[in-house]
Structure 1
Amino acid sequence: MSMKTYLLECAWYCALALGAAPAWAAGAPDAPPGAVAAARLRPAVTAQHAAQAVMLGAATAGTRIVAVGERGIILLSDDQGKNWRQAAVPVSVTLTAVRFADAQHGVAVGHAGVALTSADGGAHWEATLDGQRIAALALAAAKARDNDAAIREAERLVADGADKPLLDVCLLGGGRMLAVGAYGLAFGSDDGGRTWTSWMDRIDNPKGLHLNTVRRGGDAVLIGGERGLALLSTDGGRTFRRLELPYRGSFFTAELPAANDHELVLAGLRGNAWRSTDGGRSWQQLASPMPVSITASAIRADGSLLFANQAGLLLTVQGQGLAPSPAAPLPPLNGVLDLRNGQLLALTMQGIMPVAAPFPGAKP
């Protein structure tokens, strides 16, 4: 299970225990199917304190910052995070990740299999994919391959409805992109997200394990998932091979610091962080100061790695281990964005928070 999904499920169950679920929980994996369908079709409601919502992902679109989170909230800032305004969004499901190819063209993904595209710097969004379409595409692809196991799995997706979350998306260049998610969902686009096709046949994942994170560096594409699943492509996502790691827990984030297929980093459950400098043939563990799940990461302007964990701490690489930064602890972290000006933006369970970064990065 993805850490993003886990955190949202925890809030969902806590709300049920109290007798009322928050509106954003309609996008959670175990929300009633009717609630998921309604949230997929209902525009995001303008929130008075949207910058304090649960936020899960952020990206830069030129000089603009675009952040996504619960209830379909997408926020825009043109002053480095000092002020935020809400974008027009056609769905109210939780959004998990956002990427921009340039100052105008971006894609966001989220629960109910939703993918959104923008051509105006995030001000407006169009839905181009959802869970029902995902199920239909998966079934058509499985039938085309005449693969009985894949057909049965796709038929289950159809029967379940539009409740499977996309958890991350990666831009591959030239309008190509890859979105991954729960139960092995993997869908690619060659036209900037306007149309999508199933890439599930490219991935060795017969048990349908969750694909939690995807990153690109040059022609290399790295996917991390549950139960130690890791996959690497060296041809821009056209083919993938499994990587063998000495760890069988879930990965929630990945990086390719050198922008190639030689240096790979995966991190996740209970503070586990692993690094390979030989394309995944061997792995070394980065010692963690605490057994707390690492939920996000970023490559800073100086090329150094930064990790964020569920305890609200930012971690830098020091030698063969991770060390907490001097920054004060924050609420549980879902993401972190380096603003390339010495400042960071933390995406937390309590909203968006700017973080001064007086500590130098340490290259791994």
Structure 2
Amino acid sequence: MAQRMPGIVMVVFVTIFAFYAFYDRPTPDYRPTATQADKIRVDGLARGDGHLVAVGESGHLLVSDDEGKSWREAHVGKPVEATLTQVLFTDATTGFAIGYDGLVLRTVDGGKSWTEVHIDKEAPGPLLGICAAGGGRLFVAGSFGQFLMSADRGQSWANVPVDLPDAPHLNAVGCSSDDERAMVAGEMGVVLRSADGGRDWQPVAIPYKGSIYGVMRLSRDEWLLYGMRGHVLRSDDFGATWRTVPMQGETSFFGGTRLADGRIVLVGQDGTVVTSADKGRSFQKTGMRGREVYTAALELSPGRILLSGDDGLSEAELPRTLVSLDGRS
């Protein structure tokens, strides 16, 4: 009997284990898996309804509920592998993310969940810029002359032919819901403007033939372009004429934002962050932050911004001394 005891114990153990394994019990309430946002490339930033949203490589679409202290992956109806390049909210709850494969994702809950509204696996390269105009219209610009438009608040999209030689990359597009003016810019100094909500586009001459990476609408007539090798251009007449803004060095700028106090922030290579308190007429460096390449900036609170780039997400403090837009302290 003693010799059979080990076998009996083993049978009892296996029986109990099997019963436990197949017993119908509730699934534990696991918390969403956190994502290390400083370990992946992030290209775009935006603010939704109580959430921050960041998009980047390999389809990462991150959401933060605590002003960037922690991040989790947003829910996407169909898994995304294509790199996402930009994200934009048109109101507190409705937003769009764009990227490779002609991909456009849409959220209606402030960024917590997303669905695919457009995809083109034959697209020659990534979509790179997006803006929202009035009347529910949205514009998306991309590589090799890609240009998409939606007239129904982003539910459907159509390709818009752009009559440009050599199909240059269109890197950025700017517009506003306040009027029908819009502007798109890209490589080789290509700039187009539309005064009728995107129905007709006209070429604009600028004093630079390199790549422009950003378009910023400051007012109906005031516009700012920024791009390669520190080139920043400003117009007071909707692009009819341009003035080159003096800059220190030749750092390329890839992203920009306007703060609540009216200042403009541009970010780019070599950890460079510059600010303007006079609507882009002049800029001051806030200091170099190593060799990082920054792609976007988003205001978190007065004097504090969130930065995205090759090394993920980080924060920076800006000088708290403000200068009014007319140049007085």
> Which bin holds the TM-score, normalised by the shorter protein?
0.7 to 0.9
CA distance in structure 1 between the aligned counterparts of 2:312 and 2:285, rounded to whole angstroms:
21
Secondary structure of the structure 1 residue equivalent to 2:213: strand
Higher helix share: 1
CA distance in structure 2 between the aligned counterparts of 1:197 and 1:285, rounded to whole angstroms:
35
Higher strand share: 2
Range with bigger deviation, 223-232 or 316-325: 316-325
Q: Does 1:323 align with 2:284?
A: yes
- If you compute each CA radius of gyration, which structure gives the higher value, 1 or 2? 2
CA distance in structure 1 between the aligned counterparts of 2:316 and 2:144, rounded to whole angstroms:
34
Cα shift readout 1:250-295 (whole Å, capped 9, x = no counterpart): 100111112x1x1111110111111111222221111111112111
- Match in the other structure for 2:13: none
- Match in the other structure for 1:49: 36
- Match in the other structure for 2:99: 110
The correspondence for 2:69, drawn from 48, 68, 82, is 82
CA distance in structure 2 between the aligned counterparts of 1:48 and 1:58, rounded to whole angstroms:
16
Question: Given that residues 255 and 297 in structure 2 are in contact (C-alpha distance below 8 angstroms), is that contact kept between their aligned partners in structure 1?
Answer: yes
In the TM superposition, 1:111-126 aligns within 5 A as: 111-126=100-115
The one-letter code matched in structure 1 to 2:184 is I
Secondary structure of the structure 1 residue equivalent to 2:101: helix
CA distance in structure 2 between the aligned counterparts of 1:121 and 1:330, rounded to whole angstroms:
33
The correspondence for 1:228, drawn from 185, 189, 193, is 189
Deviation, structure 1 residue 94:
0.7
- Match in the other structure for 1:292: 251
Secondary structure of the structure 2 residue equivalent to 1:270: helix
- Match in the other structure for 2:27: none
Count residues with an aligned counterpart: 287
- Match in the other structure for 2:227: 268
Question: Given that residues 327 and 356 in structure 1 are in contact (C-alpha distance below 8 angstroms), is that contact kept between their aligned partners in structure 2?
Answer: no
The TM-score with structure 1 as length reference comes to: 0.74
Q: Which runs of 5+ in 2 are unaligned?
A: 1-32
Higher relative contact order (CA 8 A, sep 6+): 1
Deviation, structure 1 residue 71:
0.8
Q: Does 1:333 align with 2:294?
A: yes
CA distance in structure 1 between the aligned counterparts of 2:312 and 2:36, rounded to whole angstroms:
9
Question: Given that residues 296 and 309 in structure 1 are in contact (C-alpha distance below 8 angstroms), is that contact kept between their aligned partners in structure 2?
Answer: yes
The one-letter code matched in structure 1 to 2:205 is E
**% of aligned pairs identical?**
34
Question: Given that residues 327 and 355 in structure 1 are in contact (C-alpha distance below 8 angstroms), is that contact kept between their aligned partners in structure 2?
Answer: no
- Match in the other structure for 1:305: 264
Where has structure 1 moved over 6 Å in runs of 4 or more?
none
CA distance in structure 2 between the aligned counterparts of 1:250 and 1:344, rounded to whole angstroms:
26
The one-letter code matched in structure 2 to 1:96 is T
Secondary structure of the structure 2 residue equivalent to 1:290: coil
Q: Does 1:208 align with 2:167?
A: yes
Q: Does 1:65 align with 2:59?
A: no
Question: Given that residues 305 and 361 in structure 1 are in contact (C-alpha distance below 8 angstroms), is that contact kept between their aligned partners in structure 2?
Answer: no
Q: Which runs of 5+ in 1 are unaligned?
A: 1-45, 133-160
The correspondence for 2:200, drawn from 235, 239, 242, is 239
- Match in the other structure for 1:278: 237
